[in-house]
Amino acid sequence: MVTGVGEFTVPPDTGVLLGTGMEQFHHPRPVCAGDRPTAQRRRLLAGMSGRVMELGAGDGVKLTCYPGDVDEIVLVEADPFLRAAAKSVAVGVTTPVRILDGDLARLPVPDASCDAVVCSLVLCCAPCPLETLSEVRRVLRPGGELRFYEHQRSDRPAVALAAGLLTPLWSRLAGGCHPARDTLAAVQRAGFVVNALDRFAFRHVGHILGVARPI
């Protein structure tokens, strides 16, 4: 059954923020609003614990948003500039952080080594989302979670058509982003069951935020 993600929580590592930060470099949406994470980032990370991998570094400020029960954050980023930016933030975060060079086709960690993987506005830019999601399954421990905040093709035919027509130009301007992808279907085809899901529009573009586990 698909339900809501749950109540918002306030992570403890946000006493000193370095700015609003960004989800991804190609999607510079803030991860912080004032002195706390945005509502979307709070919902995305609520209740997380153990070793968590996030795909894509943004500018690193997202590292300050993780709950205190997380034992280690593994950040995977292919761009050396963004890895350097994230490292400058990581030194001020109480949770241990590893920042690794890696791409979405081959995540640089062993099988079954993560309790959760966070995909935030990254599957829309993956050259092959199913390949990335297969890697996410590989690195998740039994019972692990995929947390996702992604573009989702609209259920309204006219809006979906417009998004599809705009995708070639939009993709060139936004780092390969494909806002009309059916991300939810990709998650399910990759062998995940969705346990919690919110659908909403952001600037008239469909989005989903939820939790899934490997079948």
Per residue in 108-166, pLDDT tens?
Answer: 999 999 999 999 999 988 999 999 999 999 999 999 999 999 989 767 666 666 665 56
Mean pLDDT (whole number) for 46-50 = 97
In angstroms, the Cα distances linking 154 to 6, 17, 157, 184, 201 are 23, 34, 7, 11, 9
Between 153 and 197, name the one with better pLDDT. 197
Residue 121 belongs to domain spanning: 32-153+181-214
Residue 115, in any domain of the structure: yes
More reliable by pLDDT, 8 or 89: 89
Q: What is the pLDDT of residue 1?
A: 30
Residue 170, burial from CB neighbour count under 10 angstroms (0-12, 13-18, 19+): middle
Residue 88 maps to a domain: yes
- Domain-embedded: residue 210: yes
Residue 34 confidence class, pLDDT cut points 50, 70, 90: confident
User: Considering the chain, what percentage of its residues have pLDDT values greater than 90?
Assistant: 69
Reply yes or no on whether the pLDDT at 10 is more than 50: no
Q: How confident is the model at residue 94, as a pLDDT?
A: 95
Is residue 13 one of the residues assigned to a domain? no
| pLDDT given at position 155 | 72
Q: Are the C-beta atoms of residues 77 and 42 closer than 8 Å to each other?
A: no
Rounded CA gap, 39 and 45, in Å? 10
| Mean pLDDT for all residues in the chain | 86
Residue 40's pLDDT band, with cuts at 50, 70 and 90, is: very high
What CATH number does residue 81 fall under? 3.40.50.150
Task: Check residues 90 and 10 and name the one with the higher pLDDT.
Answer: 90
The reply to whether 135 falls in a domain is yes
Residue 4 lies in a domain: no
What digits encode the pLDDT tens for the residues 61-91?
999 999 999 999 999 999 999 999 999 999 9
Q: Phi and psi (nearest 5°) for 134?
A: -65, -40
Q: Residue 121 falls within a domain, yes or no? A: yes
pLDDT at residue 23 tops 80: yes
Q: What is the pTM of this model?
A: 0.86
In the chain, how many domains are there? 1
